Structures are given as structure tokens and as C-alpha cells.
Amino acid sequence: MILTVDDDPGISRAVARDLRRRYGQDNRIVRAESAVQALEALRELTLRGEQVAVLLADYRMPDMTGVEFLEQAMDVFPSARRVLLTAYADTGAAIDAINLVDLDHYLLKPWDPPEEKLYPVVDGLLEAWRGSDRGPVTETRIVGHRWSARSHEVRDFLARNQVSYRWYLADEPEGRRLLDAAGADGLTLPVIVTPGGEALIAPTDAELATRVGLPTTPSTDFYDVIVIGGGPAGLGAAVYAASEGLRTVLVERTATGGQAGQSSRIENYLGFPDGVSGSQLTDRARRQASRFGAELLTTREAVGLSSKGSARAVRFSDGSELHAHAIILATGVSYRQLGAPGLGELTSRGVFYGSALTEAPDCADQDVYVVGGANSAGQAAVYFARTARSVTILLRGRTLTSSMSHYLSEQISRTANIEVLPCTEVVAAHGNGHLERLELRHTPSGAVRAVDSSWLFVFIGATPRTDWLDGVVARDAAGFVLAGPDLAVDGGRPAGWDLDREPYHLETSLPGVFVAGDARADSMKRVASAVGDGAMAVALVHRYLERR
């Protein structure tokens, strides 16, 4: 079903007419002229066991606003995609609704011509809806402990791979019922029940990926290009390579999206004036790459790289190999870990590296601490502030403005429940099984004080995931991959370079192997520049293939 509601009969009929013209063959179009009437229709559809894919609601209606209607409709059909129809004067309300009801899109009236302004939006929403879980019978269920590191990892893995799941605590009635049905003793957790009813006891990521339908096996052993890493640079490379006819496979060790995919909201990415969450951007890029024919594989950890004649080979942790004419390294970076006493033992038990959005619901009405002064830390702080009692940013420097985008630091300064503590560091963490208390030091004075909290999220620095490339391609002292002009030694070609040309701009010291995104030395560490690197790397792959 596609349901539209507008209190203006003329507009209501016009919306339904345009929708039937394009979607009437495969979808039933339901039209309502009031929010109350629309909610009644939704409840009837629920009783009949039918599904609603898209909801389009006018913002200004007499009995309730479109935002209020969509908020109630979410309780009936939570998976339905949501669109607000609004006049230009109401765009501010539409932007506010993005966070309130997780709005997917808003359309300005009039939407003529529908071929340009209406249909592309609805096409994308229907495609996204068809690719998502839409009912309890198809959901993966997880039973675990709240402060279990592995339970957190499983939840994070499924969430980042866009796999819908339900989470149950092992000591709650439904959790115990599932454990009994699975024949589990409750000691080895987590237990995962797949949509098909299969019980998995503490599975590896690879086992879990296979059981929930994530692709892990390549269709062949030779490609034109292998992209290693599924962040913005890797996804950008996969989209451009596949769209230009190259046989392309992207391999990712955990989930596509990288650090950007974990961001609660990216506000300064070109083409998204209202911001976009990292998961939404990742989902669109993944579907785009797949539509062009790229293979996207998960739980594939690259551990070796080598030359085999004119081909390049990647070896994985399971001993298997893939071969290609060219390789693009887009392995990204990971957050550095704090070395203070107690933090290591409490990692994933209240101490999290990265946004860990899977834990955000449990932070409601809690005191949350965020370490870091760059955009990723700021985005997380703003996100947590929506539901947390307080959010405290622990900053090593004196101000946010030196390392954070202006728009974000301004947003933080306007958020009442966010406090910034400059020149402050974590010196110890304490807790019995999970984080309970932090010790903070004010560095200029040396004064140390203790604060009670069960939630610490760390966003400090960037460590490249390139140890497995040691001795294969040139890296700088910090481990970032050198490419192009940065490879030159005393103005000449890099050591061991035997080709009659200089390395291309993103080409590493191993010909035919390119680097893109945050893993590259002196990269910008921004989503837009990473995507640009991915696109440029594909153009250079073409040049390399032509001159081999």
C-alpha cells in the first residue's frame, strides 16, 4: 500500500492520481482526507495483515499536523517510509520533523512535474522498503547481557549491516523463553535466533553473516578491480568502477560505511541540505553500487597483498585469495584507544570507541561523556543530547573551534544539556563488570576529580588499518599509505619502481595498487574528499589498464 492524506480534496485527488499513474499496477493507492481517517485506515490494514510501504502526509491539517500523524502512524507501521508534503513557508517544520519522526523526505507543493519531483523520491523509498525487514516474523532476535562485550559487537554488526533485529535481555521473561527454546544454558551468550528459526550460540561474525543472508562469497576468483574497504572511499570507488563496466568486488571486514556510516548525522555533505545520517548515506551508496553490478562482500579480512605477474592478489584471513588487474586500498582508519587504567577491561562494557549508536537508546536519562574534539565527537554529542540527561565533552585542547566545523561547534554551544570541559583528560575508569566511575584530570592545574557515569564514548585521532601492508607498499611513519608524488625519493622515482613512467597520483609503490580515502597520507579526513578519492582512483585504474 501507498497511503496519502491531505485535507484539501483537490490536492488529495491529485496526489492519488499521480501515484496511481506510476505505481497503481503493483501497489494499492489509499487516499484519506483527514489524519483521523488515515489512522483508521491504517488500523484496518493491520488487522487484515496487509503492508504499507510509503506514507505521504500534508503538514497543515486541521485535526492534527502531518508530523503528529506520522508520529502515530509509526506505531502502526514502523517500517513504512515517511514523506511530508509541505508549502515553502513550512520547510522549517519539515526539517525539524527529520529527527522527530525519522522523516525520509519532504516534498514541496506543487510537485509538478511528477517525473522529476515525485517519482524519483517514491522510487527510492519503495526500493529501500522492499530491502528492509517489515515484520516480526522476519526479524533476527538476539539474547544477551546488557554489559556483554560480545553482545554489543553482535548488535553493532547487525545494525551497521542494515539487518533488523530485536534485542532481549537473558534475565527477562522473553529472553529466557528464547534460550529455553534454543536449548541454550544461558552461560554462553549471545544467542541469535535467525528469521528461519535457527539458533546460533555465540557465532562468529562470518557465521552470523552467512545465516542472516549477507553476501560473503565471491562469484569468481578474478576481477578487473578489487576494492578493499567499504567506507565512503571504497563505496565511491565501487560505484564508479561498476558503472563504467569494470568487474568490481568490494570486500569489507565488518560492515560498509566505515566511520562515516556510524555517524548520527552528517550536515555538510553536498546535496543534503537537511543533513543525512551515516547509515542512510551508506545504504544509498551500497544499493547504488549493487545496482551497477558491483559485488559487496562482508566479513572478509584482508591480510596479504602481492604481485602475481601482471595480476595483483589479495589474501584473506581464511586462507583464500582473490585476483584482479588492479586493487584500490580504502581501508580507512580506526579510533585510537585511551591508555588510562581500567579502560581496556571495560571496553564495550560502558566504554565505546566510535559512535556506538546501538547503545544510544540505553543512554536515555543518563549522564554521557564524550572524548574528542573533531566532528565525529561533536555529531555524537548532539545525537546523545536528544535523550540523555547530560552530555559532557572532554576536550584535550582549549576550544572546539580549532578542530571542529563551525556549524557543529555553534550547534553544541546552543544545546543546553551539553557541557564542554577543555584541557581535561580521562586518567582512570572503575567498575564491576561495567563502567561506573571515571577519574578526570584538569591538565593545567593537575586537579583530579571523580564522576559517576556508565557511558564513555571515545573519538580520538586516527590509526590507519595498514599493518598488513608492511613491506608491501610504502607507508609514512604513522602507517598511512604514500602515493603519487609523495613517493618520490630526492625528486626521483620511488625505490624499486621499474616502470618508464611516474606513479599516478593515487598509485602506491606497487604499480596497479591505488589508495583512496583516510588511509592515504595527508588525506582530508572528510566524507566528500574520500568519495572523490574513490572516483579518482577508478579513473587512474583505467589509465593503468590502458598502459599495461
Question: Both 358 and 441 in a single domain?
Answer: yes
CATH code of the domain covering residue 39: 3.40.50.2300
Question: Both 228 and 202 in a single domain?
Answer: no
Question: Both 165 and 17 in a single domain?
Answer: no
Is 518:332 a contact under the CB 8 Å cutoff? yes
Boundary of a domain, candidates 70, 98, 130 = 130
In a domain, 342, yes or no: no
Q: How many Å apart are CA 10 and CA 270, to the nearest integer?
A: 35
Question: Both 303 and 407 in a single domain?
Answer: no
Q: 29-32 and 2-5 as β-strands: parallel, antiparallel, unpaired?
A: parallel
Mind giving me the DSSP string for 313-361? EEEETTS-EEEEEEEEE---EEPPPP-STTTTTTBTTTEEES--GGGGG
Q: How far is CA 435 from CA 316, 380, 387, 456, 458, in A?
A: 35, 19, 20, 8, 14
In a domain, 344, yes or no: no
pLDDT at residue 19, as a whole number: 95
Question: Both 90 and 39 in a single domain?
Answer: yes
Give pLDDT tens digits for 426-468: 999 999 999 999 999 999 999 999 999 999 999 997 799 999 9
pTM, two decimal places:
0.76
Boundary of a domain, candidates 211, 246, 267 = 211
10-residue block means of pLDDT along the chain (548 residues)? Answer: 93 93 94 92 77 92 88 84 80 63 79 89 90 60 92 92 89 88 85 87 94 94 97 97 97 91 84 84 93 96 95 96 98 92 95 81 94 92 93 95 91 96 97 96 97 95 91 95 86 78 94 97 92 97 92
Question: Both 7 and 48 in a single domain?
Answer: yes
Question: Both 373 and 356 in a single domain?
Answer: yes
Q: How many Å apart are CA 287 and CA 60, to the nearest integer?
A: 34
In a domain, 345, yes or no: no
Question: Both 120 and 142 in a single domain?
Answer: no
Give pLDDT tens digits for 194-238: 887 789 999 999 999 999 999 999 999 999 999 999 999 999 999
Question: Both 62 and 79 in a single domain?
Answer: yes
The cell for 432 is 564491576
In a domain, 341, yes or no: no
CATH code of the domain covering residue 358: 3.50.50.60
In a domain, 193, yes or no: yes
Total domains in the fold of the chain? 4
Question: Both 328 and 469 in a single domain?
Answer: yes
- Give kind and range of the element (H or E) at residue 379: helix 375-385
Is 229:517 a contact under the CB 8 Å cutoff? yes
Nearest to 407 by CA among 270, 266, 531, 282: 266
pLDDT at residue 135, as a whole number: 44
List phi, psi (to 5°) of 359.
-90, -10
Instruction: Give the position of cell 584530570.
Output: 441
Give pLDDT tens digits for 117-134: 899 999 989 988 887 655
pLDDT at residue 66, as a whole number: 87
In a domain, 474, yes or no: yes
Q: How many Å apart are CA 216 and CA 209, to the nearest integer?
A: 7
Question: Both 126 and 141 in a single domain?
Answer: no
Structural domain containing residue 195: 136-211
